[in-house]
Amino acid sequence: MANSEHLILNRYKPLSRAGSGGFGTVQVAWDTRIQRKVAIKCIELSEIDAARAALPGAAAPQVYEPDEVPAEESLVRFLSHVPGLDEARTAAMLTDANIVAVYDFEIQGTTAYLIMEYVEGLTLTQLISAYDDQLTLDIVAAVFAAISHALEVAHSNQVLHLDIKPDNVLINEKGQVKVTDFGLATLADATGYGAAGGGTIGYMPLEQMRQENLDERCDEWALASVVYWMLVGKNPFFAPDLKRAEAAIEDAELVLPSLCWDDLSFEVDEILFSALDPDREQRFDSVDEFAKALMPHLGRVKQGTKDLARLVEDAKNPQTEIEEEPQEYRSHIPLRYRVTDGQIAAAGRVCGAVGSAIVASAGASLIPFTAGLTNPLFWVCIVAMLAVGALKSHLGFLLASVFLGAGIIAQGAPALGIVCIVLSGLWWYFVGRLENSAANVVFAAPMAGAVGLAPLESLISGFVLRPVRALVTTAYAVFIMASLVSLTPDGANPLFGWNAYMLVVQGQIAPDIQQAFGSYLASPGFWCGCAGWIGVSGLVSLIRLRPTRLFAYLSVLVGGVVLCLIAIAAAFVGTPTTTTLGPSASSPYLDVFQWLSLVASIVIMIFACVLTLEPHFGEAAAGYDEGYWSDEEEFEDD
């Protein structure tokens, strides 16, 4: 996972290692979709374990000792002995402010991933280790209240934690206490709690060590052990193995907690010792009863929360020594990992809305009763196209292109107008209506062409669409560009842009649109450029058939070079234009504006490669079809 480009489950970018233990490693990662940090527990499985991982186990429970897990048996086989193996299903049931949320649980290959809420702060172990001299009864009250509440929520859902200990208690920067790692929890059946194992010596009662049927009093004992440790400063139940751990509990000589605190009632001794009784029948019936008995004798929860927040904040001081696992690496989160699905969807809607409005503005400028920026009907048309295009790009495209064809007919060019409407309808039916991304690709031509960046169209088309659709879409885009260029008397080169300002703002229209369009059809340079545009889109799409980031860059660079060569060839052959956006018929060379257009188009597409999180075809990269996100292709990241 040291590779900064690697994504866990095609979604989570590892940032650092948070720790390791008997249950695998914990990675801090960045959720590239929801844009938040998460903690990921990574558990390595054998192939047999991976196949069994989703099945409930039926074998006898086992218990692990500190720093010891059987070498012959992997963790998941160990965990599969607990009914209801997968941690996600167990913990995802529990929604509470004092419980670390579990977002997901997946198995990929031979690794199981538990995706959890990331808590920025300290474990209870770290906090007490660094600030034992600042521990107050208020802090004890805040910690106890939070853990007991979390357990009450879990127990009400018939879930046991079975591993309550300071390492599984987290405190965030607001002083909020959260219980984590319900990985050994057991979902009981309808008749009661089942047998379960797991736990850590020092915080594990006798019945858990002896693999007896467990109930919530098991967690009660562990919680009492944590509280005793906080009040007295040591845990008398630690032992190197289970046999001596049992003896430590049965023969324990406990210090009275009330002797360690001037303002702690002696009643606390009796309450804690009841909860710590080796015989569970002598304990409180529930954690709730235990909490109600102990809380009145502790401090103020609200003040304790404030004190915890202060200590966690102080721990940020680099001079404060906090025991923690060394981090394997930290890395900057690249911009592409901050681009969310929602932002992509929003960009698609904006593209659809603006593209529809631009094409419709050309059509509205050609129809006498809607022409002119001061005409209210013009703005009614534009607003309507914005709304439709934002809702569905392909519908916005269809209406806008029909509107454009109607405008061309209104200007005395019925043949071109009818061809525009017919071709638009055919393209929409066979390509456009099937995906919003294709419509947005077509919109790239009039949008980018309005600022002299029409070469961008062929690169985008090949980058986003598959080869056949890329070829057809680019050919249709060339027709749209030639039609738009024919609308103004000083028409631009359709390979580079169209004069939107002259048409929409100044209201200047070519005296014979159909003749202007015919002049392009008679130009060898135009056909050379058309073939180049279409060929480049197909070439880029073919290179993108290998969905890696390297080939994404390669497709843009190769396509850009070929596009430049085609533009040079088209200029040499000659095109019938006189605008500064295109060479004159007598000039066999590209001018500075055209070179800037080509270079800018290539640079923009390289930037798109940088932003592309998953270099697959992503036919919704320019759209927002809901079904796309559930049908993503796996890719190989370089």
Task: Kindly state the percentage of the chain with pLDDT values over 90.
Answer: 39
Contact 492, 520 (CB under 8 A): no
Any idea what DSSP says for residue 465?
S
Residue at token pair 């960046």: 453
Task: Kindly state the percentage of the chain with pLDDT values over 70.
Answer: 77
pLDDT digits (tens, 9 = 90+) for 265-292: 899 999 999 999 999 999 999 999 999 9
CA distances from 29 to 6, 8, 95, 170, 450 (A): 11, 9, 22, 18, 42
Structure tokens at 118: 């990331």
User: Nearest-CA neighbor of 29 among 41, 45, 17, 13?
Assistant: 13
- 393-410 and 467-485 are packed helices; what angle lies between their axes, rounded to 10 degrees? 30
Inform me whether the pLDDT recorded for 625 exceeds 50: no
- Per-residue H/E/C for 161-172: CCCCCHHHEEEE
Q: Residue 179: enclosing H or E segment and its boundaries?
A: strand 177-179
pLDDT digits (tens, 9 = 90+) for 37-62: 899 888 776 554 444 444 443 333 33
In DSSP terms, 373 is beta-bridged to none
Give the pLDDT mean for 87-102.
74
CA distances from 164 to 38, 89, 100, 338 (A): 22, 19, 13, 36
Predicted structure pTM score = 0.54
In this prediction, residue 290 carries a pLDDT of 95
User: Nearest-CA neighbor of 579 among 524, 505, 500?
Assistant: 500
- What distance in Å separates the CA atoms of residue 560 and residue 597, rounded to the nearest whole number? 11
The fold adopted by the segment(s) 12-314 is Transferase(Phosphotransferase); domain 1 (1.10.510)
CA distances from 151 to 82, 109, 188, 219, 286 (A): 19, 33, 15, 8, 10
pLDDT digits (tens, 9 = 90+) for 65-87: 444 444 434 444 444 443 444 44
Residue at token pair 């009275």: 256
Confidence band of 33 (pLDDT split at 50, 70, 90): confident
Q: What is the average pLDDT value for the chain, to the nearest integer? A: 79
Radius of gyration of the chain (CA): 34
In this prediction, residue 588 carries a pLDDT of 61
Contact 421, 405 (CB under 8 A): yes
- What distance in Å separates the CA atoms of residue 622 and residue 558, rounded to the nearest whole number? 22
Q: Give all strands of the β-sheet with 24-31 in edge-to-edge order.
A: 12-21, 24-31, 36-44, 111-117, 102-108
pLDDT digits (tens, 9 = 90+) for 160-183: 888 899 999 999 999 999 998 775
In this prediction, residue 610 carries a pLDDT of 79
In this prediction, residue 422 carries a pLDDT of 95
3-state helix, strand, coil in the chain (%, to 5): 50, 10, 40
- What distance in Å separates the CA atoms of residue 535 and residue 532, rounded to the nearest whole number? 5
Please report, for the chain, the start and end positions of each structural domain, with discontinuous segments joined by +. 12-314, 339-631
In this prediction, residue 219 carries a pLDDT of 93
- What distance in Å separates the CA atoms of residue 372 and residue 167, rounded to the nearest whole number? 71
Q: Residue 243: enclosing H or E segment and its boundaries?
A: helix 242-250
In this prediction, residue 547 carries a pLDDT of 74
Inform me whether the pLDDT recorded for 344 exceeds 70: yes
Helix (H, G, I), strand (E, B) or coil at 500: helix
- Evaluate the CA torsion angle 228, 229, 235, 237 in order and state its sign: positive
